[in-house]
Chains A and B, each alone.
Chain A
């Protein structure tokens, strides 16, 4: 079982006095190969080339692709903007919950961009060895519903039209499940669910409109031996317990600057759930020196030193212009921390 392999690897690495080190670093990879975010998100060969460059330069333990919350919405047919050097976005276009039945029944495996993201995983499967885990992103069910309906309308509908919103979220989860299958067949070993819009919800609504749907994804992945990770940007301290209830294998959490308290999270999360985090992606690693990055990494690692189920990562995707030397400093400090301290 691959998810057990990831957990075993995390445990084994900890016992050796090391940590898995996993920067969320797709965008800087595009800079390294001299390409743009638009091309990376539309051309799978450029995308794969960027990830390959990242693997060769930094040797992360898990390689994550470009973070792109528009793939499924775009496949459904929602209007999508592709700025040349910024991530694709789905602008708000009016939609009413009465029209959920009119949303298209799509075959996501016939969508060019979704296939492209699967192709990236397939290319990495052939070009990388077993030392690197291949992760893939899917949009979270509530976030996809919010992209279709509008973020504000979705949040209001939780109280005003819960049945309609459930119908939309269920439709979204169907698309996400199909996409997840596609990515797994291509060779994804970890499915990371991006659910930023859900950080605005209270714990009960979160479970109702995100956690319970993500549980279906986690069950699907678990049956195939694939690990799942819940990634939510922002302050999710109030949601940790319900994120765990979804049955995912790991949580990927934002930085202290967003209000996250990593030690409290580690105390709250069961040992069999991995926690990834949580260096500030626009802090020292973006605008500081390598020495400052090293100090920040050491601070994070020191705070969770006694917890084997921790993976060093960044709180969110690093901006494209993050200096290479700082990413190297992040990797180096992460790799050597416990060796140096034992």
Chain B
């Protein structure tokens, strides 16, 4: 698949204006935007995610890359909707009840969108009911985020709520959350960062396909 290096670099640098210019030009020239998405935009977000995992970049760099990616996605979304480009799955992301922090959750959301998933962003302060509504709307994976040690305990409530519906997978993450904690509350998986969150989703969707 052809890779547009200029587009990849613009996303890696978080150069939103340049991403918009490249994508606008591509649309006007009737280029294959699905190929641009799959061959350049998604690999660029994967690359920034990998750099983040290796501590080569940090949250600010990730955020502006995601912002640039979003700007490109917004331009091509109408075209994607009209084409045969189908979402790989429907995922809900939300920060748990009592917690208003959303950076981590937002990063996961944009990385998932960039990877081709339909994301239902539930926002912050999400109760079990809110996650349940998302499941009723067709979500296959519920992703819970928390920044505070005092709020992460609510994740257990979410896991308990879905324990009798094994087709719904609860994935958790956030600064104070660990694999050990995920195991202790019976969560399906724990994602260390946004990059890993995407890999977990790919594994779950891949296993159920």
Contact = CB atoms under 8 A, between A and B. Distances in A.
Interface of A: 86-87, 89, 91-92, 151-152, 155-156, 158-160, 199-202, 205, 233-235, 238, 257-258, 281-282, 316, 319
Given A155-B63, A319-B150, A202 B57 contact: yes
Contact of B175 (A86, A156, A199, A201): A199
Contacts of B106: 152
Nearest to B57: A202
Given A155-B103, A235-B175, A257-B180, A200 B60 contact: yes
Contacts of B59: 155, 200-201
B138 interface: no
Interface of B: 14, 55, 57-61, 63-64, 67, 98, 100-103, 106, 149-150, 152-153, 175-176, 178, 180-181
A258 B58 contact: no
Contact of B100 (A91, A202, A205, A235): A91
Given A86-B150, A234-B175, A257-B178, A156 B60 contact: yes
Contacts of A238: 55
Contacts of A258: 175-176
A57 B61 CA distance: 47
A303 to B, nearest CB: 18
A318 to B, nearest CB: 9
B152 A151 contact: no
Contacts of A200: 58-60, 103
B18 to A, nearest CB: 14
A275 B55 CA distance: 24
Given A201-B59, A319-B149, 7 more contacts: A89-B100, A156-B64, A258-B176, A281-B149, A282-B152, A316-B149, A319-B150
Nearest to A254: B176
Contact of B101 (A151, A156, A160): A151
27 contacts: A86-B98, A86-B150, A87-B150, A89-B100, A91-B100, A92-B100, A151-B101, A152-B106, A155-B60, A155-B63, A156-B60, A159-B60, A199-B175, A200-B58, A200-B60, A200-B103, A201-B58, A201-B60, A202-B58, A233-B149, A234-B176, A235-B175, A257-B176, A281-B149, A282-B153, A316-B149, A319-B150
Contacts of A234: 175-176
Nearest to B177: A257
Nearest to B175: A234
Contacts of B58: 200-202, 205
Contacts of A155: 59-60, 63, 103
Contacts of A158: 60
Nearest to B149: A282
A89 B180 CA distance: 28
Nearest to A146: B103
Contacts of A160: 14, 64
A255 B109 CA distance: 28
A79 B14 CA distance: 31
A330 to B, nearest CB: 16
Contact of A159 (B64, B101, B176, B180): B64
Contacts of B180: 257
Given A201-B58, A238-B55, A257-B180, A159 B14 contact: yes
A238 B61 CA distance: 16
Given A155-B103, A156-B64, A159-B61, A233 B175 contact: yes
A300 to B, nearest CB: 17
Nearest to B13: A159
A32 to B, nearest CB: 18
A202 B63 CA distance: 13
A151 B14 CA distance: 18
Contacts of A159: 14, 60-61, 64
